[in-house]
Amino acid sequence: MRRAALLLAFVAALLAPVPATAVAQRPSLPDIENEVMCVSCEIPLNIAESAQADQQRNFIRTLIAQGRSKEQIKTALVTEYGEDVLALPEGDGFGITAYLIPFALVALLAGGLVVLLPRWRRRTAAGIGEADAPALSEAESSRLDDELARYER
């Protein structure tokens, strides 16, 4: 009986509604500053120091005080300052392509190097060992043997 009561209490605790504050977290200025640009200085807002950046921060603070969500604040920023205010690309069309192309090109170059470098090294090593090395004359050969023998002593 006691065990059943404990089990019931445990299930009830699991099903209890989570407090609203834990679900809908209020956005903070640093949290938003990381993801938006100072539009006049063209650097992230969290490192920008200018009159325009300060006004932009005040605008964000006002919206936070009004209880707006992070997404609502970002939408309001775009309405007031244009698309360039977003530091991260929007997930569609040219915005995302413009960010991905440089990474794709660097990956392509790195891939090419990974494939080609070992081949070039193998070929160079093989070339030095066989074809390109000049043959030793008899005198050079005996001198090399003498040097090696002296070294081993």
Q: Which residues bind other proteins (CB under 8 A)?
A: 39-40, 50-52, 54-56, 59, 79-84, 101-102, 105-106, 108-109, 112, 115-116
Q: Residue 49 carries which side chain, given as an amino acid letter?
A: E
Which CB atom, from 20 or from 115, has the smaller least distance to other proteins? 115
Count other Cβ atoms within 10 Å, centred on residue 60: 23
- Contacts of 8 by beta carbon, 8 Å cutoff, 6+ apart: none
Shortest Cβ distance from residue 47 to other proteins (Å)?
17
- Shortest distance, position 52 Cβ to other proteins, whole Å: 4
Exposed/middle/buried for residue 48 (C-beta within 10 Å: 0-12, 13-18, 19+): buried
Using the minimum distance from each CB to other proteins, give the nearer residue, 101 or 126. 101
Output 46 or 53, the one with its CB closest to other proteins: 53
How far from 59 is each of 35, 75, 98, CA to CA, in Å?
Answer: 15, 13, 28
CB of 121 to other proteins, least distance (A): 15
